[in-house]
Amino acid sequence: MDRLQPLLLNWMAHGGTWRTPGVTADDVRARKAVIGEASSSLWAAGRRLIDEGEARGWSRRGTS
């Protein structure tokens, strides 16, 4: 849950720190992937948030 909360905050802030120069959606996915070790359902929801943020231009596009 500690890893999920910042992801939710960034989502609510329309990208928040994802907008930091050089941060890509792949960087966010890699940093938050540990959520999947605790809960595959939460990680699936987190990936959807990251993907949607990427589509909305809140982070630089990744290669995934």
The tens digit of pLDDT for each residue in 18-53 reads 888 888 999 999 999 999 999 999 999 999 999 999
- For residue 54, give the nearest of 32, 25, 26, 33 by alpha carbon: 25
Alpha-helical (H) ranges within the chain are 4-12, 25-32, 35-38, 40-55
The answer to whether the predicted template modeling score (pTM) of the entire model surpasses 0.75 is: yes
Cα–Cα distance, 20 to 25 (Å, whole number): 11
pLDDT at site 64 = 61
- Residue/partner pairs of 36-40 with CB below 8 Å, 24 or more apart: none
Beta carbons of 10 and 17 less than 8 angstroms apart: yes
pLDDT at site 2 = 87
Span 11-19, average pLDDT? 91
Span 3-16, average pLDDT? 92
